[in-house]
A and B are shown apart, each in its own frame.
Chain A
Amino acid sequence: MSISFKSLETILERHPPSPEHLISALQDVQARFHYLPKEAMTAVCDHLGVPVSRGWAVATFYKSFSLEPQGEHGISVCMGTACHVRGARNLYDKFRRDLGLPGEEGTTRDRKFTLRQVRCLGCCSMGPVAQVDEEIHGNLNQRKAGQLIKLYRKR
């Protein structure tokens, strides 16, 4: 998969060439492409003067980076304590079943959805909570989860 060099250059220009900017530069790449293309990671490392191995270590350590292309809609189900005691696990399994995902997390075959768990979105008062793209949906149950997926499938 080829990436737009123009947008990559814009990102690199924002970060002075010093190793401390590795994480923020990769975050910008992630925000732009929704994942870290290998070419982009190598380019960032070269620009900042850090070995690619360090870029790799950082990219695989932090959860906000993904090395695979993501689905059109990201569904993050909060697995914080407050949501947990209000049934987040069963809710998560419902999402997984409806999306037909075999593993714990992942992207659907049609690249429509990426499902992941997050450790607390800080909306504990309305748990269980899930975030679809930028929007937070509170007080969910399994039935509402099914409706949510149908809603976003149409978008």
Chain B
Amino acid sequence: MLFVRNLLYSLRRYRFLLRQLVLRDFKVKYKRSVLGIAWSLLYPLLTMAVLALVFSNVFRFSTPGVSYIAYLLIGLTWFNYFSEASNLCMSTIVANFPLINKVYVPKYIFPLSKCLFVGINFLLTLIPLYLVILLTGTGLCWQHVLLPYCFLCLFLFTLGMGFFLAAVSVFLRDMFYIYGIVLSLWMYLTPVMYDIDIIMHPLLRFLMSLNPLYQLIRFARTVILSHATPSAAQFAACAAPALLAMLVGTLVFKKNQDRFVYYM
């Protein structure tokens, strides 16, 4: 209880810092480019165009009944949010050592700011995604109002992982390399480009369905592609890993945060 109260207090006190950090990331990211902030919309739009071009003509997995481009892009948008945000989170503590060593700032604010920053980018990529949804004739349905639930679960899952990675990488710098490999393996094990049904082995398929990212993507696909309401099990499969990741990530982070300064 005291922990929650302290957390709320520091969140209120440092919400200005949080906003400044997110703003800073935006400013610095597009600082020296001619098009500036327009890139945050243009970049995902163009990447999606490239992917759509490549995957609809060169590689093509079958996704019966639904548009493959929409299928692919949903998976990619979701997965990219996770991989980019968690990757950025991982280096936040190490990168901010000069700051942490000089003034007191609540350290959780750094991973949190990265998850929010990438989260805003994620919301911007939804614009080209919806363009694709409309252009491919996938169409809309009322179930789209359920998607914010999915975003929230994705955000919490990523944040929890981000806390864990940020804390661990302070003590084990090898994490930066290990996680890069883990991410690319994770990417191929997640049915982003292919349908999970092409996995013939039932046990393997079951194991793959335990992947939280797959469950989050499946939720979105159920809504966007099948125009269906996800089952209660699907709701639970999104929330459970998110809460678990938050619990473990926060605990690991909180338990170790006072020792960060010794490992610079």
Query: Do A and B come together as binding partners?
Result: no
Which B residues contact A (CB, under 8 angstroms)?
none
Which A residues contact B (CB, under 8 angstroms)?
none
